[in-house]
Amino acid sequence: MVRIGDVWDRTVDVLRGRAAILTGIVVLTLVLPGIVAGALGTIVPLSDPFVVAVPLIRLGALVLLVLGVLAMTAVASDPAVDRAQGLRIAGRRLLPALGVLTALVLAAIALFIPAAALFRLSGATLSGAGTPDMSHAVPGYAAGAGLLVLLAGLFGLWLSARIVPLFGIVVNERRGFGALRRSLTLTRGSTLKLIGVLILYFLVTTVVMLAATSVVGVIARLVLGGDAPAGVAFVVAVVRTLISAGATMVQSVFYARFYVAAVEREQRMAPLA
């Protein structure tokens, strides 16, 4: 079993020792694309002919996010890898990573299809605001849909813990879809601890995000005035991007160090098998 405390200690060591390299990758692949995406529709007005470009720009930002995570994984996995090497490795492994992520997204969608079907059969509808209207829903179907959503969420949490070393495998072992099975092997015995880490990460990130954006939003309104909602929205979007980028960096390094620790444990146990 991998000791999560040791993984956190190694994560902190990497963040301290390789902060400049990791920050450079984060700025190039997460912060700048995030700021550009945040500017769209706020301080950069979009006329009708250019609205279609927004999804493409956001898709490009998502691809750069994956590239950045791969590069940080390479840097955090091997102390000999610098920023340039990390980005080159990430570029070579980008397509396999995108293929695996696409498969996971499709699986997640399929996971919620039974709940969506029961929701429709129950007679429930969606309001104009996108919230469910249960006033005419059949209780049995509605309860079944809620149960399926809960089970799908729990399974998703379990799977998220089991694929923690996924990008470490894609980067260091040059695997594609086979990285999924390999990830299940490396996380064996550590699932509950990893679930705890994921929940803690989500709670801390959410609290920090809500607190920071609320405070910054108030300050921005005071500085820019109530007649500049676009400027306030942009400032809040920038702060949200910075916090998200920092959280992604910590998460990527932790996942990479868990991969390294799991492989080291596997190698130690191999002679005993």
- Predicted confidence at residue 180, as pLDDT, reads 93
What's the sign of the alpha-carbon dihedral 236, 210, 249, 150?
Answer: negative
Give the C-alpha separation, 151 to 111, whole Å.
9
pLDDT in tens, 160-179: 999 999 999 999 998 889 99
Q: What is the H or E stretch that residue 126 is in?
A: strand 125-126
Q: Tell me the mean pLDDT in the region 82-111.
A: 93
pLDDT in tens, 209-260: 999 999 988 888 888 877 777 788 888 888 999 999 999 999 999 999 999 9
Closest C-alpha to 34, from 238, 249, 214, 190:
238
Q: Whole-structure pTM over 0.85, yes or no? A: yes
What's the distance, Cα to Cα, between the start and end of the chain in Å?
15
Contacts of 15 by beta carbon, 8 Å cutoff, 6+ apart = 22, 249, 250, 253
3-class state of residue 130 by DSSP = coil
pLDDT in tens, 176-200: 899 999 999 999 989 999 999 999 9
Confidence of residue 269 (pLDDT cuts 50, 70, 90): confident
Confidence of residue 56 (pLDDT cuts 50, 70, 90): confident
Q: Tell me the mean pLDDT in the region 96-115.
A: 91
| Range from 40-54, 111-125, 177-191 carrying the lowest mean pLDDT | 40-54
